[in-house]
Chains A and B, each alone.
Chain A
């Protein structure tokens, strides 16, 4: 029993898990390139009546990068295992899983493997496949992913933990300054490289058909990474899912349009 508790504690530390509030559990999962900080303008709105769970994937934010195993994380299945580990460690039931970007597919895989823990999936800016394939338009070509990896390597210094972030005046949000020293956008470059490949070269279209958990899809009007037809594809392939278009542009509405995203999630939970 003690060993099981230790293992659970290890999982919570490994993923820098933060739990706030009480009520129905709601897990927020961040996308590629950042950390749980991506949910900082959305998650607080759920603390009053939910048990809000935030975490970092291994390699991101405050996670334990030494837990990274290239073999485990060479597909989103490894990330889905971590999500299930976190849910087991907190013994979550009937949980709402809110995933952004690549985390939408992580959520789909985890919910397909163990639906018993999930009450609802909320997929923000989802894409099951980024590369075009026959009639399917994902928006990108294989070559684009190589270019992405070039970009990633060319901007390597920006990822490094040791680079002190330059703090610009942000007088109205003094809390931001504090977090800067935590380097929440830290991401191990070698891990980021593999995560980028796994994220953008994966094909999870057929996993959509297997989803049994009630699902809400939230789509931005103008998203060049996961465009409207892709969001619609996800909606059409998950039986019984709802589809909400929000008046926001870009791929990170959770940061650029948090009020709209919050409202859409609340609507989905009603």
Chain B
């Protein structure tokens, strides 16, 4: 049974080819068009003689052409085909023609590639939809990336125990987030200068005093500054531009680092090629830097607290707690190595009248001066601390009687000299030395050692002050 319609609709293959509801063409292996159907020509708005011998990719929009030639041409040759490739073509009057493309490689009898068959489907109605999807996908990816960076940052900052560690983490996070060649972090120090505290700074002159400094300006203006090696953005900071050029860097972007809306430092990102930092990226860097600044303050506070707990506020010297820790450690080393350990107890003679006559403020000034003088007489390796009131302790590792006496003589001489803060007052010091010479049989405790030094000091007092007594133990 043959239907009437089938009999009447009997088109030849040429018509089937030319009038197919899709574009169909063949090219040589290099992509030059050999045959093309009329549907494709109508879509392009071109006549056959205009396109034969011309590269197919020449009818693609430039971006699609780049992509097709660099990605799909190799794939086509290696896989033998490409499937459902979304590209944009250009019609003769410049209109966009979004298409879906399938292509297969054709081989000759010897198995050599001799041509390419390409089928082109009109995808214009999908175009808008695809673009919306793409935009949404990118927005989502961007947001997710941002969240990841912030999360990584907060985890890394929480785990950082020191200022340097934290600054290095910050630099590495920003480096990855911006795909920067190098990132360095600088903070304003006590003198108001920017000091690099972490990351890597590949150039000189970013923070030096000699020239106008971008770092300084960022702190003042609290907005980012870009300096390039060449071009208009190179003129404000010529020294930096020259340094960038020398290191083959294209630019540095310097971001402010703020805490509670006050600039406390900068983050500088270096790039090897022209890069524009959009607002979203800049916001991200500033947020992460802000997090870091807060974490830095936490670390600094913790460091300050730890320092406070172990140091005397008046003189800045180690306090009793830290002294005891050091003595314990010193005994351990001494008994392990057999080297003698001297612990010196220093008590001021004539200090009470200073306090009584001239008041505590002057007393404090004198104590500071005493601390300074003693520090000037002990050796680098000795530990000096304030034990309390007008008592000081010096721990001298690997020190025998002779050396201990020499130190004691030096410091007593230094303390006898007049004090500007307390005119007419005469001070001296009674010193007691506990000299621990380990014999391997007997061990000693921190308390015992301090008691012996204290006892020796009292003997010096009893025997007329301003002298040194050594007690071996």
Contacts and interface: CB of A to CB of B under 8 A. Distances in A.
A34 B71 contact: yes
A170 B311 CA distance: 82
A154 B176 contact: no
Contact of A224 (B28, B69, B271): B69
Contact of B273 (A74, A146, A150, A249): A74
Contact of A144 (B57, B63, B85, B176): B63
Contacts of A165: 79
Given A155-B85, A256-B30, A144 B66 contact: yes
A173 B111 contact: yes
Contacts of A179: 78
Q: Which of B30, B82, B178 has the most CB of A within 10 A?
A: B30
Interface stretch (B179-187, B299-307, B351-359, B447-455): B179-187
B130 interface: yes
Interface stretch (A3-11, A48-56, A198-206): A198-206
Contacts of A101: 70
Given A154-B134, A222-B55, A185 B62 contact: no
Contact of B176 (A70, A155, A176, A257): A70
B176 A225 contact: no
A115 interface: no
Interface in B33-82: 55, 57-58, 61-71, 73-75, 77-82
A151 B74 contact: no
Most chain-A CB neighbours within 10 Å: which of B29, B77, B137, B138? B77
A112 B150 CA distance: 39
A71 B178 CA distance: 7
Contact of B83 (A40, A143, A166, A256): A166
Given A74-B271, A148-B66, A185 B181 contact: no
A194 interface: yes
A170 B107 CA distance: 8
B74 A71 contact: no
A225 B69 contact: yes
Contacts of B274: 201
B130 to A, nearest CB: 6
A32 to B, nearest CB: 5
Interface string B74-113: 1101111111111110000000000000001001001101
B127 to A, nearest CB: 10
Contacts of A70: 175-176, 179
A239 interface: no
A257 B78 contact: no
Contact of A34 (B29, B78, B131, B179): B78
Contact of A168 (B77, B80, B86): B80
Contacts of B137: 153
Interface string A138-174: 0111011111111111110010000001111011110
Contact of B57 (A72, A149, A202, A224): A224
Contacts of B55: 222, 224, 249-250
A75 B73 contact: no
Interface of B: 28-32, 55, 57-58, 61-71, 73-75, 77-88, 104, 107, 110-111, 113, 130-131, 134, 137-138, 175-176, 178-182, 248, 271-275
Nearest to A220: B30
Contacts, number: 174
A240 interface: no
Contacts of A201: 273-274
B70 A251 contact: yes
Interface size range on A against B: 35 or more
Contact of B30 (A69, A168, A249): A249
A102 to B, nearest CB: 8
B314 to A, nearest CB: 49
Nearest to A72: B181
A173 B85 CA distance: 24
Contact of A140 (B66, B175, B180, B181): B66
A237 B175 CA distance: 34
A252 interface: yes
Given A155-B85, A176-B80, 20 more contacts: A38-B74, A71-B179, A71-B181, A74-B271, A75-B181, A130-B66, A139-B62, A151-B63, A154-B130, A158-B85, A185-B79, A194-B179, A222-B55, A225-B69, A225-B70, A250-B31, A250-B73, A255-B73, A256-B31, A257-B30
Contacts of B80: 168, 170, 176
Nearest to A77: B272
B176 A69 contact: yes
10 contacts: A70-B179, A144-B61, A144-B62, A151-B66, A168-B104, A170-B107, A202-B273, A224-B65, A248-B30, A250-B30
Given A168-B104, A172-B107, A202-B273, A249 B180 contact: no
B416 to A, nearest CB: 61
A200 B66 contact: yes
A31 interface: yes
Contacts of B63: 143-151
A37 interface: yes
A37 B176 contact: no
A224 B55 CA distance: 8
Contacts of B64: 147-148, 151
B62 A141 contact: yes
Contacts of A255: 73-74, 77-78
Contact of A180 (B28, B31, B79): B79
Give the one of B29, B78, B88, B248 with max A CB within 10 A.
Answer: B78
B74 A185 contact: yes
A44 interface: no
